[in-house]
Structure 1
């Protein structure tokens, strides 16, 4: 029997049509598909018509299938000469444990390839019309997981570097994260955006500022999956977030964001910039 293979596919941020063509092509030849909770699955049977389908998705506080068991399932299928696909939300190599699955396959001598996906770290802000970088405003963005509480060293580094902060898996530690950033000097009126269930029917966007985000999240019941964006680029959020428009009010919004970025860069303890204006169709404090 010839040896099969394993393909890791990044399914993108949630919408079926944001999966790559290469990913869909790989699914079409799959014999086994192990899929995650955040991957689009409504049409999975038609995408992989000959495959056995296994839900191995992890939920907060509950892992129905251990990571080591996922490795074993992929390797066993490949050793039977089958094409095993691991379908993961976002990109397999962005907080997706894809590197562990690749390492397990390589150690077992099983051919493995990776099909990258659109990461929610960039796509979720874009769903609200928020760019993670903008000329004259910032030249860097940092993506960090807050699944586990961030350390004081991490807070200091985030504030010291500047730019946009994109936080994934941070709903459960939101209060800790916000207080840590404030404690290390991030101005309290720094704009904040939270995008829940990006590109799904349940998508919701909330805009606020750093010192009000915890209260807003508690009041509106922010839930996972959610991406939090912190920085002056949030001022560029779309007028109607569901459309993914580029900016809220054209050059005026850009100018305000540039001014806010300049103020923060000169002195993190300086007088805060104006609070982000409320926008139609957006939950605000």
Structure 2
């Protein structure tokens, strides 16, 4: 089965971003892909909150989501729209960072709100406080797709293995990690963490990422990845925007798990005791 990844350099104009995504959907379908994966914040990437706020809206009014749904329906391809920033979803006024799985008829089959929020101070001086604007999600989500049962996650979730244990425990054979990793954290941890998520459960991992210098001044790491259940890198898109393809065989999940059945050896871990 062929899948496609769109490595984006998303800007501050949702209409322009929507046009770019529609082109990616059409090109992925023309390239024979059954499913396209896009990065976190595919609709708008803008660290200027005052400038961004007027361009944010609810799911029902989001022009990027509507455009991608229409393109998926026209092209007959499934799309994991990595995530969109949405307003008007909560009484406290905070945003949500929501990913969508859209089928080949343009119907939304699954939604996931990012659970873990990126509140960090990096050695480079970069400081990020997602929780100042966003509310974290509360539910893990799996969705049946042509590429297998997909476990949804977003970016910083990658560091929390318990989420992926829950997803693979619910039958996920494919994990998606749409991301907008910073360059320092990407250089240090991206490849290691994505491969670890594949190896520990014997699953495919698809990680579509933002890349390069963006209009709002930030720089993201790129290197969108497809990893097979043995931890082999099937695709690494490097540091330039564009569309990439990978051929995966869903049967490989059971082949790997039959040789190294770690997922079947999991046991509940009791609360540790402090040794005297």
Interval of TM-score (by shorter of Structure 1 and Structure 2):
0.3 to 0.5
The structure with the largest alpha-carbon Rg is: 1
TM-score (norm. length: structure 1): 0.32
Q: Which has the higher strand share?
A: 2
